[in-house]
Structure 1
Amino acid sequence: MERFSNKLSIKLEGNRKLVFDDIRKKWLVLQPEEFVRQLLLHFLIGDMKYNRNRITVERGVSVNYDQRRTDILVFDRDMRPFLLVECKAPRVSLSTDTFRQAAHYNGPLRVPYLMISNGRESYVAAIDYTAEDYRFLPSVPEW
């Protein structure tokens, strides 16, 4: 993911470092989790050729009557949720709890693919709703 660092538009404003989000079309404070989110967006659009018009960032979703935000949600060509990505700061270790959090957000979405990443490590799983199971994949699925 680090190889995308030079593709980020970063500026200083006072004592704050900002990054431009091409999806939301606005400058954001460059927090560690935001850094990971922006790197992943560049990877999905640049390397994986995902359509930027089918990606939402920090989209609201209602989970058990609570309002939550998905980090990255990708839709397929028919505008069905396709891939849900949960981003963590690089210092945060990925764990079963991280995967459970993403799975919890996925409840109302029912995406076929779920991904968690801290920028250093990433895990992608294909979800089998019929068997109520999942399997980890070696890479991000083709869009």
Structure 2
Amino acid sequence: MIRLNLPSFDIKVSGSKQHPQILDVLRRKFISLTPEEWVRQHFVHFLIEHKGYPASLLANEIQLKCGDKVLRADSVLYSRELQPRMIIEYKAPHIPITQKVFDQISVYNLLLHVDFLVVSNGLEHYICKMDYESKKYVFLETIPDYSDLLTL
């Protein structure tokens, strides 16, 4: 797999060379190792180990219903009151972060109404803070530590 712009971690893999799997620490099971999953696992470990995000407040592959349509948010960070606070959308490293990616995460946000939207392909990471009163958003320069996130 490609080297990402994220810290390395103790990767646990299993399966065969043709069908490798990686341990998802949040779902506590092995998942097919796709390029997008490679990014997700690196990003989740980055949040937990380097930014202080509680693993107990993060969840992967959150199912959302929009009428008859079923959607899946890649990762969601919840508040201690279990309200959605951040949506994270991952793409494989070879997929550029475009307006289409932000449009996709915005659809999820229509349902969850979170404070922060994050998109990453493992090489580039973007985070924006929503301002619902002014009906705008502001891009932050870096992914904040969890303790700082609580004050934003």
Judge same fold: TM > 0.5, yes or no. Answer: yes
Is the alpha carbon distance of 1:83 and 1:14 closer, same or farther for their aligned partners in structure 2, counting shifts above 3 Å? same
Deviates more, 1:56-65 or 1:29-38: 56-65
Identity percentage of aligned residues: 30
CA contact (8 A) 1:10 1:18 kept: yes
The CA deviation at 1:12 is 3.5
Please give the alpha-carbon distance, in whole angstroms, between the structure 2 residues aligned to 1:135 and 1:23. 29
Q: Tell me the distance in 2 between the aligned counterparts of 1:141 and 1:18.
A: 30
The residue that corresponds to 2:92 in the other structure is 89
1:34 matches 2:37: yes
Q: Give the aligned partner of residue 105 of structure 1.
A: 108
**CA apart distance, 1:80:** 1.3
Q: Give 1:105's aligned amino acid.
A: Y
TM-score by length of 2: 0.88
- Provide the residue aligned with 1:62 in structure 2: 65
Q: Secondary structure at the match of 1:57?
A: strand
Structure 1's consecutive aligned runs of 4 or more residues displaced over 4 angstroms after TM superposition are none
Deviation at 1:64, TM superposition (A): 4.5
Bigger mean CA deviation after superposition, 16-25 or 1-10: 1-10
* Residue in structure 2 matched with residue 11 of structure 1 by the alignment: 14
What SS is found at the alignment partner of 1:107?
A: helix
1:72 to 60, 70, 75: 75
- Which stretches in structure 1 are left out of the alignment for 5+ residues? none
By how many angstroms is 1:3 displaced?
Answer: 5.1
Gaps of 5+ in 2: 147-152
What is the Cα deviation at residue 76 of structure 1? 1.4
Offset of 1:142 from its aligned partner? 3.4
